[in-house]
């Protein structure tokens, strides 16, 4: 029994490796697929034959010759069948729900952003709004609901993946917002919830696995401060999904008021509202909700710093020192091989860098920071979307069991949900 289980597990893993390789590299000949995956020709032939029967992949004849001596005979290639399945990525942020539909190749084939009123969204009202928005999105996309195998949700703030709830987020007026159960119950789709910065980490690993693998960290400075961790080759989210909330680790006890309601959080010295509060010379206990921040706040502050505004430059320098102190704690505990800095706030890194290095030197011994590699990555909102799709596809690949009919049919309620307006 154990040997059979082990064989099944190995086969499932090999199937997943083949699917992920075709998704990353595009169409390939069997011999090239074998080289890329390091699987034997017999294994490649057996598994791809099953996948062809199941409709997960398709054979393509190209004009490229098999070999020089074959005088133009077409070469047989294998490619994923994009119509075999689809997934939906859903990002929740302040005032917006961002949805995208990806086919089985991982390509985004349809996307839409829907506004919602953050100030009114709570545990009672938001599930209905969320499900009706998803249903409308599927209708607009023209997708067959039966092919939608998973909905991956990323949110700002603290999430609890065990309960499927957003515990706290600046995107909501209330707390403990149920997400997973309403989607599963009303729409009949598998659903997974995660923090948005985790998906940036996932996206970087997917796009450049040679560079972003092993143990590395991503720190996003934006409307808040978030972190994603890859430990020993795997995304680390903790027991409930709330790990790596470095923005709400205390930086100065009793210090500046954070959006979460506590005082002295790292975010209260790095996020957009924190810097604006300092630039306006407002007291540290000024409520972040009262500050006129928007998506252009960092751009406006950066422009002032570039124009030579000494006060704004000093504020950025102080933010750099807060960043360096936070990184020092991370290095002492985790020792990542690489730290990625991204988010809208990192656009102004040139005015933060000196303060960051100064703080690192002051609070951390040289032995613990000498191997630090920092990548400053230009912010792209597609990171979160790509991470959600990559994670959903990996789960989907691992769940394919090789039944003759292909992907197991699932009772989909998405169309019914749209017609009922839920």
> Rounded to the nearest 10 degrees, what angle do helices 310-333 and 297-306 cross at?
120
DSSP 279: H
DSSP 252: S
Q: Indicate the range of 36-50, 111-125, 235-249, 400-414 predicted with least confidence.
A: 400-414
Average of pLDDT values for 278-306? 96
| pLDDT for 3 beyond 70 | no
Where are the chain's structural domains?
A: 20-58+76-81, 86-196, 201-381
Q: Do domains 86-196 and 201-381 have the same CATH topology?
A: yes
Enumerate helices (H) and strands (E) in the chain, giving the number of each. 12, 15
Q: Kindly report each contact of residues 165-169 with a partner whose C-beta sits within 8 Å and lies 24 or more positions away, as own/partner.
A: 165/193, 166/92, 166/193, 167/242, 168/260, 169/92
pLDDT band at 254 (very low <50, low <70, confident <90, very high): very high
Instruction: Work out the mean pLDDT of the chain and round it to a whole number.
Output: 90
pLDDT band at 65 (very low <50, low <70, confident <90, very high): low
pLDDT in the model for residue 422: 34
**Beta-carbon count within 10 A of 323 CB:** 27
pLDDT band at 418 (very low <50, low <70, confident <90, very high): very low
In tens, the pLDDT along 142-191 reads 998 888 999 999 999 999 999 999 999 988 888 999 999 999 999 988 99
pLDDT in the model for residue 406: 29
pTM beyond cutoff 0.75: yes
**Beta-carbon count within 10 A of 70 CB:** 10
CATH number for the 201-381 domain, one of 3.40.1190.20, 3.40.50.300, 3.30.420.40, 3.40.50.410?
3.30.420.40
| pLDDT for 109 beyond 70 | yes
CA dist 418 and 422 (Å) reads 6
Average of pLDDT values for 407-417? 41
pLDDT band at 117 (very low <50, low <70, confident <90, very high): very high
| pLDDT for 403 beyond 60 | no
CB 357 within 8 A of CB 349: no
For the stretch 190-205, what's the b/e string if a residue is b when 16 or more beta carbons lie within 10 angstroms of its beta carbon? bbbbbbbbbbbbbbbb
- By C-alpha distance, which of 182, 175, 323 is closest to 247? 323
CATH class of 86-196: alpha beta
């Amino acid at each position: 029994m154990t040997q059979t289980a082990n064989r099944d597990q190995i086969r499932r893993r090999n199937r997943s490796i083949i699917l992920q390789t075709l998704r990353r590299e595009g169409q390939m000949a069997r011999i090239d697929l074998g080289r890329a995956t390091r699987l034997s020709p017999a294994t490649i032939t057996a598994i791809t034959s099953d996948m062809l029967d199941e409709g997960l992949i398709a054979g393509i004849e190209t004009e490229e010759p098999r070999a020089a001596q074959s005088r133009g005979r077409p070469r047989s290639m294998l490619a994923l069948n994009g119509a075999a399945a689809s997934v939906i990525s859903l990002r929740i942020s302040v005032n917006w729900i961002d949805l995208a539909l990806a086919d089985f190749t991982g390509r985004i084939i349809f996307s839409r952003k829907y506004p919602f009123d953050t100030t009114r969204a709570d545990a009672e009202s938001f599930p209905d709004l969320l499900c009706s928005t998803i249903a409308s999105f599927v209708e607009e996309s023209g997708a067959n609901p039966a092919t939608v195998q998973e909905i991956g949700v990323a949110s700002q703030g603290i999430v609890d993946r065990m309960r499927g709830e957003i515990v706290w987020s600046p995107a909501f007026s209330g707390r403990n917002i149920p997400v997973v159960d309403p989607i599963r119950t009303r729409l009949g789709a598998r659903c997974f919830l995660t923090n948005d910065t985790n998906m940036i980490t996932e996206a970087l690993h997917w796009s450049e696995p040679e560079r972003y693998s092993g143990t590395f960290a991503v720190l996003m400075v934006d409307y808040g401060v978030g972190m994603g961790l890859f430990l020993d080759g795997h995304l680390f989210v903790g027991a409930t999904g709330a790990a790596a909330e470095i923005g709400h680790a205390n930086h100065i006890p009793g210090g500046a008021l954070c959006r979460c309601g506590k005082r002295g959080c790292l975010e209260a010295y790095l996020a957009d509202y924190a810097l604006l509060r300092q630039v306006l010379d407002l007291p540290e206990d000024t409520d972040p909700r009262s500050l006129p921040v928007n998506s252009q706040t960092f751009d406006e502050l950066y422009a002032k710093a570039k124009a030579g505004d000494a006060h704004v430059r000093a504020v950025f320098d102080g933010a750099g020192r807060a960043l360096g102190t936070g990184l020092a704690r991370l290095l002492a505990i985790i020792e990542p091989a690489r730290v990625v800095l991204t988010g809208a706030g990192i656009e102004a890194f040139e005015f933060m860098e000196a303060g960051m290095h100064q703080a690192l030197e002051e609070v951390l011994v040289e032995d613990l920071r000498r191997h630090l590699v920092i990548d400053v990555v230009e912010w792209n909102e597609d990171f979160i979307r790509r991470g959600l799709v990559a994670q959903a596809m990996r789960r989907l690949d691992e769940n394919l069991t090789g039944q003759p009919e292909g992907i197991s049919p699932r009772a989909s309620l998405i169309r019914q949900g749209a017609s009922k307006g839920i």
